[in-house]
Chain A
Amino acid sequence: MASAVAAAQMAEWDSPEQIGLWSDAWMRFRRNRLAVVGLVIVILLLIDAFTAPLLVHLGVIIDPIKQDVAHIEVGPGGFGHLLGTDELGRDTLSRLMYGARISLTIGILVQGIIFVIGGTIGLTAGYVGGRVDNLLMRFTDIWYAFPDLIFVLVLVSVFGPSLLSIFGAIGIVNWVNLARLVRGQVLSIKEKEYVEAARATGTPPLRIVLRHLVPNALGPIIVTLTFGIPQAIFLEATLSFIGVGIQPPTPTWGQMVNDGYQAVYANPSSVVFPALAIGLTMLAFTFIGDGLRDALDPRMRR
């Protein structure tokens, strides 16, 4: 009996579980129920965004720019419109489903711009240090001092309200936080002993950056970018709401709220549903961000 226990223990010592860092993180992520709910919502939204045109083509949903002039501002369920129609007789459900395309594209792709700009500036400042660091960080401070919305408004009105200029504008406004985060991470990681050990074995600087600094800073970066998604979605909705976002007739959630709110008492559904969509999407990404933060925290690593 005792020997069996000892043998089992020996076996345990001999072969610790073979778990990679990412599968380990995934295990911890899965334990967070809200995060999983968020992930499911986001996956559904993504499926919706990819398949919306196909569904229109197959006749499952109505074309979002087709006007049903006989049924303007009908409530949910009326005349074949599951969520009603807006003031031009367009189907709210299909516009909502199309709107997800814009929101998700902006939300996610803007993070790419933020990652490139913020990551490069933060990494350079943190790794090179000294005068370069000072210069880049003061530049970041100045950038930070501009009010976001006004800055975006200026950029969009200069370059015109195209999808590309809105991408650019939101990205250019929001890289500051990531740059600061990356710099801080790099400053602490580059003093770690394993970086010194790598330098002591003659590892070239670029390789130290790519193999040691970036992978170790990746967790917090992913979390920040995930939290950045709802922010970008909200900023895009705000732009659409005030009329400088994506131009009609392309349906976006912000625009739908804008179109609907004038008749909010007569036809609340055309405001409530897009507002819910924005809220739910933001919440879903925030839950995911929370889950990732816990899952990728190096202190939680076993």
Chain B
Amino acid sequence: MACATRSIPGCGAEPLVTSGRPELSDALLQVKGLHTQFPTSRGLVRAVDGVDLEVRSGEVLGVVGESGCGKTMTALSILRLLPDPGRITAGQILFRGRDVTAMSPEQVRDFRGNEVAMIFQDPMTSLNPVTKVGSQIEEAMTAHSKFSQQIAKERVLELLTRVRVPSAERRAQDYPHQFSGGMRQRAMIAMGLSNEPALLIADEPTTALDVTVQAQIIDLLKRLNTEMGAAIMLITHNMALVASLCDRVVVMYAGRVVEEGPVEQIFSSPQHPYTWSLLRSVPRVDQARRERLVSIEGLPPDLSRLPGGCKFHPRCPFVEARCREEEPPLAEVASAQKARCWVLMRTLGDNPQDRIEPSAARATLLSAGEADGAVG
């Protein structure tokens, strides 16, 4: 009980061996200070550089950010599936209190699929072309001892029906090339769910699909989340997807978390300039075009040569002297909302875009020709 008065991180660091102690939060997965690095000839690439995040049971957590900011590497670290020469160099990944980074290869193998499953971006290449879809799903089950061979066979049809594959019985006998993209992603999801994992990591599950199919897959994920109670960690750069599906959102930049909080709160009052910029770069149908759609200038930093201070400062329109010197901590900025920023959007008044006049003027100048062409 002494813990309650102290900060939560200090508490969680204590070994969770004492059984019967009430859990402080219903955290399913806790990632603490995760560092994943790739020693390459160009230098050390810090793909994940001190990520702290938490997935609670049954929730849908969105992980957003531009390409190359460590989202996928965080997911692959959780499953210990890092491609060579990637290594987890520091930090803990606690799944129900067990540290994944300390597991033996045998334990990791049992952990994958059984407790945390992952579905990948491109369903066209994620299924083995020479094996029937049904037996691939069956195999995901027989790799573990949760289900007997007989039950696994029966479950294949049940799962295919559950992910809305029509005439499942016949479709199970098909090869992947006889499936369309959306159907393959359904089959992948069925495979991911086959061992009833408590957490499903979906790495841009809709990116490779066309828009109408995307909607179906999102709908399916949403329903599976409520029906089966599996938590979902949704990696995406699609803000609309986050808004429609997630409970909480984590924004990543340069291998670290820059902001996190409940979806409504993040969307209505983002505190980190990066989150604010990301949201501003998404077109909105529900609002009149009062402001121009803006892109974030520049590119995410080279992960082998990170800038000093706040990693976003070279691209930040609200940069201050302190930002260049010292990296801000991920601090609580509102209830349940944390941001890693010295400035914070709320200190910038109601119309922060007015403060970035020079750069905005340039953006206007650059896109004026285009916009005129489009309108005319």
Interfacial residues, chain A to chain B (CB-CB below 8 A): 14-16, 18, 20-21, 192-194, 196-204, 207, 211-212, 215-216, 218, 298, 301-302
Question: Which chain B positions have C-beta within 8 A of A16?
Answer: 174, 178
Using an 8 Å CB-CB cutoff, how does the interface string of B64-84 with A read, 1 for contact, 0 for none?
000000000000000101000
- Min CB gap B318→A, angstroms: 40
CA distance A14 to B165 in the complex (A): 11
Count of B interface residues, CB-CB < 8 Å: 37
Are A204 and B188 interface neighbours, CB within 8 A?
A: no
Select which of B139, B167, B178, B194 is within 8 A of A211 by beta carbon: B139
Residues of A within 8 A of B271 (CB): none
Q: Do A201 and B117 touch (CB < 8 A)? A: yes
Query: Chain A residue with minimal CB distance to B79?
Result: A200
State the CA gap A301–B178 with chains docked (Å).
Answer: 10
Say which residue of A192, A198, A201, A204 sits within 8 Å of B125 (CB atoms).
A192
| B129 and A298 contacting across the interface, CB-CB below 8 Å | yes
Tell me which of B107-115, B244-252, B282-290, B353-361 binds A: B107-115
- Find out whether the CB atom of B111 lies under 8 angstroms from the CB atom of A202: yes
| Cβ distance B121 to chain A, nearest Cβ, rounded Å | 8
What are 30 pairs between A and B in contact, CB < 8 Å? A14-B166, A14-B167, A16-B174, A194-B127, A194-B128, A196-B81, A197-B119, A198-B128, A199-B112, A200-B117, A200-B118, A201-B112, A201-B113, A201-B140, A201-B143, A201-B192, A202-B113, A202-B114, A202-B140, A203-B113, A203-B143, A204-B143, A207-B139, A211-B139, A215-B130, A215-B131, A216-B128, A216-B130, A218-B130, A302-B177
What residues on B are CB-neighbors of A193 within 8 Å? 120, 122, 125-126
A residues near B125, Cβ cutoff 8 Å: 192-194
Q: Counting CB contacts under 8 A, is B191 at the interface?
A: yes
| Neighbouring A residues of B119 by C-beta, 8 Å | 197
Q: Which label, helix, strand, loop or mixed, suits the secondary structure of the B interface?
A: loop
Q: What residues of A have a CB within 8 angstroms of the CB of B117 in the complex? A: 200-201
Please name all residues of chain A whose beta carbon is closer than 8 Å to the beta carbon of B118 when the two chains form the complex: 197, 200
Q: Once the chains bind, are B109 and A204 in contact (CB under 8 Å)?
A: yes
Identify the closest chain A residue to B173 (Cβ): A18
Decide if B129 touches A197 in the complex (CB within 8 Å): no
**B144 CB–A CB distance under 8 Å:** yes
Q: Is the CB of A202 within 8 A of B144?
A: yes
Complex interface: chain A residues within 8 A of B109 (CB): 202-204
Is B267's CB within 8 Å of the partner chain A? no
The CA of A169 and the CA of B195, in the complex, are separated in Å by 50
- Check B175 against A20 for contact (C-beta < 8 Å): yes
Quick one: closest A residue to B115, CB to CB?
A202
B140 engages A203 (CB within 8 Å): yes
Instruction: Name the residue on B nearest A212 (C-beta).
Output: B128
Per the bound structure, the CA–CA distance linking A207 and B117 in Å amounts to 18
CB distance from B195 to the nearest CB of A (A): 7
Contacts A197-B188, A212-B128, A215-B130: A203 and B139 contacting too (C-beta < 8 A)? yes
Q: Within residues 34 to 72 of chain B, which ones have a CB less than 8 A from any CB in chain A?
A: none
* CA gap between A280 and B195 in the complex, in Å: 56
Most buried by A among B81, B110, B127, B175: B175
What is the CA–CA distance of A302 and B122 in the complex, to the nearest angstrom?
19
Contacts A21-B130, A201-B192, A218-B130 supplied; 20 other A-B pairs, CB < 8 Å: A16-B178, A20-B175, A192-B125, A194-B127, A197-B126, A197-B188, A200-B113, A201-B117, A202-B140, A203-B143, A207-B139, A211-B128, A212-B128, A212-B131, A215-B128, A216-B129, A216-B130, A301-B129, A301-B177, A302-B177
A216 to B125, CA, bound (A): 13
Residues of B within 8 A of A202 (CB): 109-114, 140, 143-144, 195
CA distance in complex: A204, B140 (Å): 10
Q: Which residue of B lies closest to A17 (CB)?
A: B178
- With A20-B175, A192-B125, A196-B120 known to touch, is A201 a contact of B130 (CB < 8 Å)? no
> Contact between B81 and A211 (Cβ–Cβ < 8 Å)?
no
